[in-house]
Structure 1
Amino acid sequence: MSGSLLREYEIMQNPALGANALWGFTQGFVSRPHEELQSLTLWHLVTVLPLLYHDTSRKIILKKRESSGLRSILERDLKNSVAQNETVFNINNRIKALQDRTFRSLNLALACNLISLEEGYFFSNISFKIPSTIPVETKNILKAAQKLGGWAGGMSDFEYLTILGVEP
Structure 2
Amino acid sequence: MNMDYHAAREAWLDQRHRWLMFGVIVAGGSALVDVWPVMRIWGPAFAVVAGALDLTFDLSTRSRKHADLRRRYAEINSEATAGQKNLVHLQSKMDVLSGEEEPPYHALLALSAMRAQTMTYGKITDPCRPSFPYRFFAHVIRFDGRDFNESTDDNSDADRSGQA
Rg (Cα) greater in structure: 2
Using the size of structure 1 for normalisation, the TM-score is 0.24
TM-score by length of 2: 0.24
